[in-house]
A and B are shown apart, each in its own frame.
Chain A
Amino acid sequence: MTVVPLVDAGPECGGKAHALAVLMRAGLPVPDGFVVVGPTDPEEIVGRLRGTAVAVRSSGLAEDSAAASFAGQLETVLGARGPAEVLAAVRRCAASAGTDRARGYRAHLGLADEADVPVIVQELIPADRAGALFTRDPRTGADAVVVNASWGLGESVVSGVVVPDEVVVSAAGVRVVVGSKQTRLDLRAQGLVRTPVPAPDRNRPCLAPDEVDRLVALGRRCAEVASRPQDVEWAIDGDRIWLLQSRPITAFGPPLATGVPSGSGRATGPARLVRSVDEFARVRPGDVLVCRATDPTWTPLFRLVAAVVTESGGVLSHAAIVAREFGIPAVVGADRAMVDLTDGAPVTVDGIAGTVTAGSHR
C-alpha cells in the first residue's frame, strides 16, 4: 500500500504528515487528506480525489526534524484540481528532493540525500483569513501566544509577501499591531488569484477578538499534544478554524540580534563572523555567515552557507535579493551582529521573524 490516509500517517510518511496525523488523532481540526509514499499507481491517487481543489506538499523525512527547517525548500503546489493537475503536482513534490535547490540545501548542511519524498494531498481550505501562530514568543521566549494574520490564503504570511497583523496574547493582556496586508491570494474558479486588499481592510485588524481566543486555545492544544511549544499554520474559512501545520519552535530566548527578515524559513549553524575576504577560507558549508555588508565579493559565499546575517541593508537590499535566489534565510540590517554574535557558537536564523537566536533546534 503506497497511499496512506493522513490520519494514519506515521514517521515513514515524513515529518510534516506525521505531525498532522498526531493532531488529527487528538481531535484537532486538520483538513482531511492522504499521503503518497514511494511509487504509486496513479489510479489509486485519482480514486481518492473528491473534486475539490487540493494542496499538495512534500513531507520530507528530514524536514522539520533535522538541524534545519526546510521551510520553502521543498515543493508546495496550491489549488491543484482534477486528476491531471493533481498527479502532476504529486510528481513535482515527490521529485522535489531532487531539485538543485533542495539538494544543494541538504548538501550545505551535510544531510543525507533523499531520493523520493512522501507527498501530502489535502483539501485546500479556501481561507478568508490565515497565518501562523507561536505558542511562545520566539523573539523573547516569553510566555505569550503570538498570532500573525492576513487576508486570504496563508501563503501571503508564510512567504513574507505581506506585513501581517500581529496579536500578542499574554498575562498582561492582548496587544494588536495592525500590519499593512497589501495583497491577498485566493482560490477562485479560475485558480489562485492575487489581488490588492482594499484600503479599509488594510487598516483594520483581520481577526475578531473571539477568533483570537479560539486560535490561542487551539495553539495551546497543539503545544500540549506535542509536549513542547509549537509554530502552527492556521486558516479560517467562514466560521471554522483549520490547522494546516504544526512544528516545534526551534529556537528561543531573547534574540542575540534582530534585523529585517529576508528570504524564508529558518536555519541553524555555527555563526561565522567574517570581516574581510582574507577570512573566506574559514567559512564551511552549513555555517551562518555574519558580515557587515554584502558587496559582490560576498555573494559566492551565499552558495555555501545555511543562512546570512548582515549589519547593513534593508528589506530592499542586494543581500536580501541574492539570499532569496539561493533560497536561504537572511536577516539584514542587524546593526550590531558582528559585536553581539560569537564566532563558532550555534545560532538559529529566522528569515520570517528577522531574529538570530542562540542555540540549535530540538
Chain B
Amino acid sequence: MTHRSPVDLLVLHAVRLNGFASTAAVAARFGLDTEQTHEDLLDAQAYGRVSRSSFADLTGWSLTELGRRHNEAELRDELDRTGAHGTVAAVHEQFGPLNARALQIFTAWQLEPDRAPETVHQLSDLADRLRDLERPLAERLSRFAGYHDRFAAALARAEPRWITGVEVDSCHKVWFELHEDLVATLGITR
C-alpha cells in the first residue's frame, strides 16, 4: 500500500524541490489547495523554516537552513515508518549511472544541435528508464508519482526549451528534480 505523505511535509518538500517558488508553484507541485498552502507557508515562515525573498524580478519561497534540516528530518522519519528505505536506496543506486547518461544527453543537446534527432531518441529511451525507476518508489510513497509523465509531456512538446530550458517544466528540470528528491529523501549529499 502506498503511503500518502502529510500536507505539511509536502508543502515544505515542494519548496525544497522547486528551490525557489511562488505560492502557486509550491501548491501545484503536489496538487494542494493554493489558499491552504499559503497559510501553511506563513506558518512555516513563523517557525523560520521558509523565507520569502525577492531578487531581480522574482519573488518566491525558499527553505532556510533550519527548514532544510526540518524537511530532511521529516523525510527520514517517513522512510523509517514506512520501511521504504531499502526501496529508495536501491533506486538511487540505479539512478547513478542513468544520471551520468542523462547529463551526457542534455549536454549533447546543448552543444551539438546537429545531432538533435539522435538526442531526442536517446531522451525517449531515458523516459522509459525513468518509468521503471518511478514505479517502485511510487508504490511505497505516493509523492514520488509523476516524474515520468512530466518528462514524457515535456519531450512530446518537441520544442528546444522543453528539453533543457529553465523557465518551463523541461526534461532537464524534471530529471534534476528527481535527483534532488532522491538525495533529500535519503539525507545524503550529491
Contact = CB atoms under 8 A, between A and B. Distances in A.
A160 B58 contact: no
A278 interface: yes
A124 B1 CA distance: 65
Nearest to B183: A295
A294 to B, nearest CB: 9
Given A296-B18, A321-B110, A278 B64 contact: yes
A320 B172 CA distance: 12
Interface of B: 16-20, 51, 53, 55-56, 58, 60, 62-65, 68, 100, 103-104, 106-107, 110-112, 114-115, 164-166, 172, 176-177, 179-180, 183, 189-190
A183 interface: yes
Nearest to B166: A325
Contacts of B110: 321, 324-325
A261 to B, nearest CB: 12
B111 A297 contact: no
Given A183-B112, A318-B176, A324-B110, A297 B103 contact: no
Contacts of A315: 107
B114 A194 contact: yes
A301 B54 CA distance: 11
B62 A277 contact: yes
Given A296-B18, A297-B20, A318 B179 contact: yes
B107 A303 contact: no
A297 B176 CA distance: 11
A49 interface: no
Contacts of A312: 190
A277 B64 CA distance: 6
Given A278-B65, A295-B19, 14 more contacts: A280-B55, A283-B55, A296-B17, A296-B176, A296-B180, A297-B63, A298-B19, A300-B19, A304-B56, A315-B107, A316-B104, A318-B172, A320-B107, A325-B166
Residue of B63, B100, B166, B172 with most partner-chain A CB within 10 A: B166
Interface residues of A, number: 35
Residue of B68, B107, B115, B172 with most partner-chain A CB within 10 A: B107
A320 B111 CA distance: 11
A299 B64 CA distance: 16
A360 interface: no
Contacts of A299: 19-20, 166
Contacts of A316: 100, 103-104, 107
Interface string A302-318: 11100000001001111
A159 interface: yes
20 contacts: A161-B112, A183-B112, A194-B112, A194-B114, A277-B68, A278-B65, A280-B53, A283-B55, A295-B180, A296-B20, A296-B176, A297-B19, A300-B19, A300-B60, A301-B55, A304-B55, A312-B190, A316-B107, A321-B106, A324-B110
Contact of A303 (B18, B56, B176): B56
Contacts of A278: 51, 64-65
A46 to B, nearest CB: 29
A277 B65 contact: yes
A203 interface: no
Contact of A296 (B19, B51, B111): B19
A19 B132 CA distance: 56
Nearest to A162: B111
Contacts of B176: 296, 318
Contacts of A321: 103, 106-107, 110, 164, 172
Interface string A321-332: 110111000000
Nearest to B172: A321
A1 interface: no
A298 B19 CA distance: 7
B11 to A, nearest CB: 16
Contact of A325 (B58, B164, B179): B164
A324 B111 CA distance: 9
Interface in A158-201: 159-161, 183, 193-194
